[in-house]
Structure formats: structure tokens, C-alpha cells
Amino acid sequence: MTSFEQANLLDLDTYSNEDISAVLETAEAMLPILQRPIARVPTLRGKTVAMVFSEPSTRTRVSFELAAKSLGADVITIVNSGSSIEKGESITDTVKTVQSLGANMLVIRHQASGVPYLAAKTLDIPIINAGDGSHAHPSQSLLDMFTINSELGEIKGKRVVIVGDILHSRVARSNIWGLTKMGATVVLSGPSQLLPSHLQEITDFQDRVSTDSNLDRAIEGADVIMALRIQKERMTSMCMPDIREYAQLYSINKNRLGLANPNAILMHPGPINRGVEVSDEVAYGEQSKIQSQVINGVATRMSIIYLLSGNSREVPIGQS
């Protein structure tokens, strides 16, 4: 029986191709559970998954909550408003308190890069990074890879164009790690002030990453176009693009989508700035997999919670 060796999910730099494949295969096995009239198994009955979200979230928080509940776990959620974070309690004290209250796993989002690593050093329960500053968002990357696999059959050999605010994007960083490990090539595109060249160097597979600020050229022959949100909340005036000009040069519209492979898919981690990163016409068009990403997020996060709880891939889910 193969056990899952990873203790935490902090980013995908420490995950091997086999670890990522284990998460994606287990997520596939979770989908039928979600299609049952009562989408719940008793696998994690008696366990508590704590969520500490000190930055706004809709998709990640709700899908982790649904994922934990579908596996039979109890869930406690702490957001800034109404918690002692508002009174100035440090994040270290908050997560220690959560563990003392009986949490068996912690899912954490924080505006400061590195906070999930601090939690992993402080606590002795599995830690899942649900997004830390501009650093990493590994569960988003795993659900993105699950979606690419489902829609295109495999990740290996695919040309993935990630376009937009690369500078501030934790989604881009985790996807550079994950996609290149799984054999895809990644082209980063966006206005030059939002397109740092050093990101090519974060992966062990540097020959699989390139940058091109000319989106029309980058998109030719793409299998996947992943548009990113312009993160106004993280911009300084130095790097904030003119939104109208940005939309003209980088918004994914029908004409631009036509430059990609005919069966190319459009993705976006959400939330979308409508009309800025993608036109309404393509956001809800046939090639858009944005809603599938949301649904796949629950199965993928069930897989992550299940594997980090010490479950083996081979144990029939729901019978462990």
C-alpha cells in the first residue's frame, strides 16, 4: 500500500510529479461522492478541520469547507471580522488557539507571504496553504491541473499561456511549479511592469518557461489560456496599468481565443474583473472552463484533505 509522504501542502516546489499525480487521481475518485444525493462519507468522522482566513475568499474557503464536510469532518472557520484577530491577536496565537481547541488540520489564508510556513513550524498538525500574499496558492494549481487533465486528457506537452498580473500572482507561481513538473510548457504574458523575468528561474525546469509581453504572439498554438485577475489591492502606483489600455492589449476576447488551438480551453481562478481580463462573451462561452474549475475545486480539496489526513490512495474512500 503506498502512503502519501507529504505532511503539509505549503507549495508545489516540494511535491514530486508522483505526489501531484496522487492528488489528481484521488480527486477523480472523489467526484462520484459529490454526485451522490447525500454527498458525504464518514472517512473523517470525529476529526476537525480549522479554517483561518484573514484575507477575503469565496471559492477557496467555501470549497475547502464543503470538501471537509463531505469527508465527514467537523469544520470551524475563523475570519478577521468578529474574531480576536480584530483585537490584535497575532496569527501565531490564533493558530495555536485553534490547535488547542482540537483542530486536526489547518487551512490558512493570509495576506503576508510565508505565514503558512510559520504555522507549520508552530503546530504539529497538517497545514494547507490556501493562499499567502503573492507567494503561493497550491490547491488552486492542483485544481487547475485537474481541470486541464479532465478537459484535454493530459498535462504533459500542453502549451499553457498565463496572462495578466503575473507580478502579484500566487496562482502563477504555484502553477509554474506544478505545470512544469507535469511536463507542460508555460508562457507568461502581460504588461512588462507586471511580468518579472526572474519567475522563469523558480522552477527546476527552466526550459519549460518563457515570457512574452506580446499576447497575440504568445497565444498562437496555446492549449490552455489562463487569465489572471488584476490585483488592484496589491498594486503600487508604479505598476498599476491603465485598465482600458490593459483590456485592449490583454483581455481574452473571441478574436484572441481564435489564435489558440481550436480545442483550447479558457481558465480563470476568479474572481473576475468582468471586461478587463476576459470579455463576457468568452467567459461564458463553450471554451470557458471557469465554472468547471469551481466544481473541480471541491473534489481536489477533498483529495488534499484526505491524503494529508494519513489516508492511503488505495483505501476505498468512505470505507477507511
Site residues for ligand CP per CB under 6 A:
57-60, 131, 140, 269-271
In the complex with ligand CP, which residue's Cβ is closer, 114 or 270? 270
**Positive or negative CA dihedral for 34, 39, 41, 44?**
positive
Minimum CB separation from ligand CP for residue 290, in Å?
A: 10
Minimum CB separation from ligand CP for residue 268, in Å?
A: 9
Strand-pairing partners, residue 80, are none
Minimum CB separation from ligand CP for residue 10, in Å?
A: 16
Please check whether residue 175 is in contact with residue 136, taking contact to mean a CB–CB distance below 8 angstroms: no
Minimum CB separation from ligand CP for residue 3, in Å?
A: 29
In the complex with ligand CP, which residue's Cβ is closer, 107 or 184? 107
In the complex with ligand CP, which residue's Cβ is closer, 96 or 234? 234
Which runs of consecutive H residues, i.e. helices, occur in the chain? 17-34, 59-70, 91-100, 115-122, 138-152, 170-181, 215-219, 243-250, 254-257, 280-283, 290-308
In the complex with ligand CP, which residue's Cβ is closer, 42 or 56? 56
Minimum CB separation from ligand CP for residue 273, in Å?
A: 13
In the complex with ligand CP, which residue's Cβ is closer, 60 or 203? 60
DSSP string, 210-279: EE-S-HHHHHTT-SEEEE----GGG--TTTPPPHHHHHHHH-B-HHHHTTS-TT-EEE--S---BTTTB-
